[in-house]
Structure 1
Amino acid sequence: MMSGGYTSIDNPKLSGSVPAVPDQGHVTVKFSESNLQTFPPSEAQGKISIAAGPPRDADDTFSKSGSGAGSGSGSDESQPSGWLRPFSIATYKPYFDIDTADVLDRIKDSLFPFRDSFNEKTASNPDLYGPFWICTTLIFVAASIGTFVTYIAHKLKNKEWEYDINLVTWSAGLFYGYVTIVPLGLYVILKYFSAPSGLVPLFCLYGYSLFVFIPALCLSVVPLEIFRWVVAGVAGFMSATFVALNLRAHIKSAGERWFLIVAGIFLLQLALSVALKLYLFTVTV
């Protein structure tokens, strides 16, 4: 029927109409407890502290320990293993992580060769930082002092002087080669005799044993041949004694031939000082 512009349908069962939903009773809906936390929390939980900290996505590379003890599994997985490990920089990083005070203390021990306590002090943390810079310094000192000595000798006799670049290459080959090849050879010999030894401690010992040649090279500027021989002999004796006495305790376990090995080490170190004297400070005009 029509009333006020609206149409009402009297019959509810006309076609096209939606039937009413029967009443199925009262349905109870239960909600589980929410996992959302209230903010701010009412009390501290676990190890959460009130102090402010960096966001979770912040880069904390420089706040981690250099030794890698506190790093996660991700950093360990990125490091190569097996036969690729010796070619990784991370393998040698612990041997360059050393304080300046420790380097100075080890240099001081090398100048007092009769203490024979160097290996005991460096057994737990041998380094390659000191040996590398000692050899590098020796290369430039030997080349510069040798050049200066020849320059003075030529000027005193009013002769023309030319710079010899071979002093740098010869010094680099001598010191880097000596501090690498000799410890490697000694390591193989000690392994053959079943004597306890480590390769890195040998590198460390031989590297610091060369420090005494730095002041010796500086003193060789004095233009007196006998004085230069005395300086070379004293430096060689101190360096050879330092190496031999510190290795004696380890080499004694090699059997009856330990004395021959120690004597060979001593004489080889003396030969280094003689080579420095003959090549660098034998001036011919």
Structure 2
Amino acid sequence: MANRGYDVVVDVDQEGDLGHTDLQEDLEFHSSNFENMPNSRNKIQPDSTSFLPGPAASNSRQKHFLWSLSFYQQAFDVDTGEVLRRCLAALYPRQNFLDVLEGNPDLYGPVWIATTVVVILFLTGTISQYLAHNGKEHFAYDFKLLSGGAGLIYGYTALVPIGLWGTLKWFGSESANAMECLCLYGYANLIWIPVALISWSNLSLLNFIFVSLGFAASTFFLVRNLYPLLSSTERQTSKILLIVVVALHAGLAIAIKVLFFASTSPLKNDEPPKDGDQSN
């Protein structure tokens, strides 16, 4: 046996005992029934209380996502610090505004910015008309400025980006997002707040310069951030859309100048006073 390469080591103590060989006292045999073992597929089943929805729940949520409260709640999922940071990025555009949003566009800032613009346009427009009045007759506040400003600002901020988004989708753009377009146009209105605050004088040329500067700044902001979306369409289509975007924004600037900071505003109440109100 040793010639076949087998080496046997035997531990022999002094008493000649070949180790403890009474194995029956130490070994215990247990019967095992493999049929009772749990199925491995049942063992790896996920917990039903997990925060991750299953496939069925996910499809159901996507089906009713538009009509759920969470769809509108996510548009206001920002705090005051984040809104202020986005306002600063809109006034001093050092980087693309869509990168500042970080995939979380909001409507909280655009709604309050548009409301602030409407109120300030009404106040400064009223001051401008009062200065142009020159005390010729009794001056009365004209609340058509408030309703006209609300229709102009809210209508432009809501309809134009939605129309732009629909047009981009029509021409096959995959990167267009309705919330991002609304957010972009909403924060672009921020420039009209300082413009309105300094355009209350009765110097038409000075007001024209201020409004022109506001138009240039807001147009640069829009074109810089919309260009990646517009360039996703065909070259000729993107040029036409770019011209339309600039033309519509120019129309907004002209409307602000004419309606609020001109003595011949169409919203001005030019009705002659009644006989009882005329002074002798």
- TM > 0.5 between the two? yes
2:251 aligned partner: 271
Give secondary structure in 2 for the equivalent of 1:190. Answer: helix
Within-5 A mapping of 1:69-80: none
1:254 to 228, 233, 247: 233
- State the distance in 2 between where 1:83 and 1:124 align: 22
- State the distance in 2 between where 1:250 and 1:137 align: 28
2:193 aligned partner: 214
* Structure 2 CA distance for partners of 1:251 and 1:116, relative to 1, 3 Å: farther
2:159 aligned partner: 181
1:201 aligned partner: 180
1:119 aligned partner: 98
- State the distance in 2 between where 1:231 and 1:82 align: 47
Deviation at 1:180, TM superposition (A): 0.8
1:50 aligned partner: none
Unaligned ranges ≥5, structure 1: 1-69
Q: Contact between 1:240 and 1:267, CA under 8 Å: does it hold in 2?
A: no
Identical aligned residues as a percent? 31
Matched residue type, 2:144: N
Determine if the alignment matches structure 1 residue 159 to structure 2 residue 137. Answer: yes
Within-5 A mapping of 1:1-285: 85-113=65-93, 115-154=94-133, 156-195=134-173, 196-257=175-236, 258-284=238-264
2:8 aligned partner: none
Q: Contact between 1:233 and 1:273, CA under 8 Å: does it hold in 2?
A: yes
- State the distance in 1 between where 2:125 and 2:164 align: 30
Q: Contact between 1:150 and 1:283, CA under 8 Å: does it hold in 2?
A: yes
* Structure 2 CA distance for partners of 1:160 and 1:201, relative to 1, 3 Å: same
Unaligned ranges ≥5, structure 2: 1-49, 265-269, 271-280
Matched residue type, 2:111: F
More helix by share: 2
- State the distance in 1 between where 2:132 and 2:66 align: 47
1:9 aligned partner: none
Q: How far does the alpha carbon of each residue in 1:199-251 deviate from its partner, in whole angstroms, 9 at most, with x for none?
A: 00000000000000011011011221111000111101111111111011121
Matched residue type, 1:98: V
- State the distance in 2 between where 1:151 and 1:251 align: 43
Q: Contact between 1:241 and 1:266, CA under 8 Å: does it hold in 2?
A: no
TM-score when normalising by structure 2: 0.69
Deviation at 1:128, TM superposition (A): 0.6
Matched residue type, 2:207: R
Q: Contact between 2:89 and 2:100, CA under 8 Å: does it hold in 1?
A: no
* Structure 2 CA distance for partners of 1:176 and 1:87, relative to 1, 3 Å: farther
Give secondary structure in 1 for the equivalent of 2:190. Answer: coil
* Structure 2 CA distance for partners of 1:256 and 1:101, relative to 1, 3 Å: same
Give secondary structure in 2 for the equivalent of 1:194. Answer: coil
Matched residue type, 2:146: V
Deviation at 1:99, TM superposition (A): 2.1
Deviation at 1:85, TM superposition (A): 4.2
Count of aligned pairs between the two proteins: 209
Q: Contact between 1:128 and 1:204, CA under 8 Å: does it hold in 2?
A: yes
Moved segments of 4+, more than 3 Å:
70-73, 80-89
- State the distance in 2 between where 1:269 and 1:102 align: 26
